[in-house]
């Protein structure tokens, strides 16, 4: 359905109902969407939540590994009080949603609406969950409180999207049956479908479809950058925040060509299943069992099912697109945490110096010796530090800096940050310490630091003040396209080769990145890798 047709349908439904908002017999607010009417549920702060709204048809049967299709309409009032089931995924050691109800029929989103005057057009913030593109959900699986952020005057949306083999399988048979002659990236297609749903429907919830901010951490942050680089997402958002984005200014797999020493994503798909028809006929659980990843445990560089350069949704390597200015021209906040890699180093397969050398050359067929030169480990006791710094610099900070530098071209606006606060509610790894670990900024961004552990609440006044400042900054950016104002000290836009960033930590300080020399080394290595591929 085209956007014009979608708008026409919405106008017709509104005319029939008399108003996009009404009261159900039980008193809940009822919203008319393009697929049918929904009622919400009251939460704290007078925020109304609408949960589990389908934004696309169930991607099952013949729709498995195909672009998302329009949601099926319903009659009557749909009680949107329960989250939709999480998308099919394997259990892992990190924080996961309740997988007892996981399903392929999972393409649903959630909307949190704060109190507002009739006719209001509030800024819209769309949260894309993390989980390495193989785990997670749009519900409360991550340590965040969506209500607290929405209560600051934004309409907040989250969504599920297909994960792992269901979301990112490439295969020559799938490419042949595609009108675009491309396969893979179905999870990103789902995100785009959700954004189209938001554009068509969010005004009925009090949101402004012309003032949409996409944001997320980890795979959510990477999704933000991939959407910026995708021509299929043009016009669906006006601002972007990428937190701890990974593998964008990094070696990537291509759909149909061996690059950076990796086999093509299609060749990888053939190894899993020579015949896509037989794989499509299997129950989801058996498909998941076939997708036992060959990734090296604990290392995000070696994930098999990840967005690929498919020549369609992602037309070229994102680093090239950013550097050429061929990405969405929207204001961007981008940053990472100081100690991204500690969380991965604890579970990394490389425990000895020999295993570290083996890993480097296997994970980076092009660049492994360069990696070892930058992060050597002469003794086994050196491995944790080498792994954690490598992951921080090569996987996360390298992308932050590369994108920020590319976005300093004339006519672009970008603000760079680093989260430096040591979150004392860290996962229980007493030794070695985790520092400002991967995704530890999430609770601060959402503005309410919840604590469910057995120990006394570890957050203090500094944590609460930082959470208040960060969440207010994110909301201000969503409202105005500029993070400055309020309690935040001046945060200038990034300029070419400055390496200056706002540090969100015990204090908020704008200064030169002390890790600049290490990132120079990564930039040289990545440049050499790219030159070999040209």
Please list the active-site residues.
Answer: 218, 340, 438
Query: Which residues, at least 6 apart from 27, have a Cβ–Cβ distance to it below 8 Å?
Result: none
CB-based contact 247:395 (threshold 8 Å): yes
Residue 318, helix vs strand vs coil: helix
Q: State the Cα–Cα distance between residues 270 and 284, nearest whole angstrom.
A: 18
Within 13 Å and on the Cβ side, how many CA atoms surround 37?
Answer: 18
Output the CA–CA distances (angstroms, integers) from residue 458 to 380, 426, 461, 506, in the order listed. Answer: 33, 10, 10, 15
- 3-class SS letters over 42-96: ECHHHCEEEEEEECECCCCHHHCCCCCCECCCCCCEEECCCCCCCECCCCCCCCC
- Among residues 287, 72, 313, the alpha carbon closest in space to that of 191 is found at 313
Work out the angle at residue 222's Cα, subtended by the Cα atoms of residues 218 and 367, and round it to the nearest 5 degrees: 95
Nearest Cα neighbor of 66 from 197, 167, 198 is 167
CA distance 498 to 494: 7
Chain centroid, CA 170 distance in Å: 20
Structure tokens at 74: 């319903």
Residue with tokens 């969950």: 129
112 and 48 in contact (C-beta within 8 Å)?
Answer: yes
Task: Give the closest residue to 167 by CA, choosing from 212, 216, 129.
Answer: 129
Strand order in the sheet with 332-337: 41-42, 48-54, 108-113, 155-159, 122-128, 207-217, 239-243, 332-337, 414-419, 500-504, 508-512
**Could you tell me the two tokens for 27?**
């008193």
Query: In angstroms, what CA-CA distances link 223 with 85, 247, 434, 502?
Result: 21, 10, 25, 23
How far apart, in whole angstroms, are the C-alpha atoms of residue 158 and residue 178?
Answer: 28
Strands 21-23 and 108-113: unpaired
Cα 289 to the chain's mean position, in Å? 25
């Amino acid at each position: 359905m085209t956007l014009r047709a979608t708008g026409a349908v919405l106008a017709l439904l509104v005319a029939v109902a008399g108003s996009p908002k009404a009261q159900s017999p039980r008193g809940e607010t009822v919203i008319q969407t393009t697929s049918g009417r929904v009622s919400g549920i009251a939460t704290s702060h007078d925020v109304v939540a609408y949960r589990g709204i389908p934004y696309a048809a169930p991607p099952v049967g013949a729709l498995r590994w195909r672009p998302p299709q329009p949601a099926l309409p319903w009659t009557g009032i749909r009680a949107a009080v329960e989250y939709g089931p999480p998308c099919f995924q394997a259990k892992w050691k990190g924080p996961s949603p309740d997988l007892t109800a996981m399903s392929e029929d999972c393409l649903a989103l959630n909307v949190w609406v704060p109190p507002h005057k009739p006719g209001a057009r509030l800024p819209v913030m769309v949260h894309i969950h993390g989980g390495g593109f193989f785990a997670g959900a749009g519900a409360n699986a991550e340590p965040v409180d969506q209500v607290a952020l929405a209560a600051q005057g934004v309409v907040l949306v989250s969504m599920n999207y297909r994960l792992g083999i269901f979301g990112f399988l490439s295969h020559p048979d799938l490419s042949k049956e595609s009108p675009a002659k491309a396969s893979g990236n179905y999870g990103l297609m789902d995100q785009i479908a959700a954004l189209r749903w938001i554009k068509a429907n969010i005004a009925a919830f009090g949101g402004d479809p012309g003032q949409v901010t996409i944001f997320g951490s980890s795979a959510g942050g990477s999704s933000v950058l991939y959407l910026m680089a995708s021509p299929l997402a043009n016009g669906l958002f006006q601002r972007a925040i990428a937190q701890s984005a990974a593998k964008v200014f990094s070696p990537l797999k291509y759909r149909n060509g061996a690059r950076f020493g990796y086999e093509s994503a299609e060749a990888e798909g053939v190894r899993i299943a020579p015949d896509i028809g037989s794989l499509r006929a299997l129950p989801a659980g058996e498909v998941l069992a076939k997708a036992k990843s060959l990734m090296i445990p604990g290392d995000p560089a070696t994930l098999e099912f990840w967005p690929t350069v498919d020549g369609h949704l992602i037309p070229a390597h994102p680093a090239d697109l950013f550097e050429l200015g061929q990405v969405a021209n929207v204001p961007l906040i981008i940053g990472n945490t100081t100690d991204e890699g500690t969380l991965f180093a604890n579970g990394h397969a490389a425990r000895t110096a020999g295993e570290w050398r083996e890993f480097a050359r296997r994970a980076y067929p092009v660049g492994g010796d360069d990696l070892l030169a930058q992060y050597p480990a002469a003794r086994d006791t050196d491995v944790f530090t080498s792994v954690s710094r490598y992951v921080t610099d090569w996987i996360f900070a390298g992308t932050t800096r590369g994108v920020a530098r590319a976005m300093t071209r004339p006519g672009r606006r970008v603000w760079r940050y680093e989260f430096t606060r040591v979150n004392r509610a860290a996962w229980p790894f007493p030794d070695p310490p985790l520092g400002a670990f991967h995704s530890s900024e999430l609770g601060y961004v959402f503005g309410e630091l919840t604590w469910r552990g057995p120990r006394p609440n570890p957050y203090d006044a500094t944590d609460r003040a930082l959470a208040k400042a960060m969440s207010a900054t994110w909301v201000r950016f969503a409202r105005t396209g500029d993070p400055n104002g309020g309690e935040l000290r001046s945060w200038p836009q990034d300029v070419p080769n400055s390496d200056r960033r706002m540090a969100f930590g015990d204090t908020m300080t704008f200064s030169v990145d002390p890790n600049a020399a290490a990132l120079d080394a990564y930039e040289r290595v990545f440049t050499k890798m790219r030159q070999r591929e040209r």
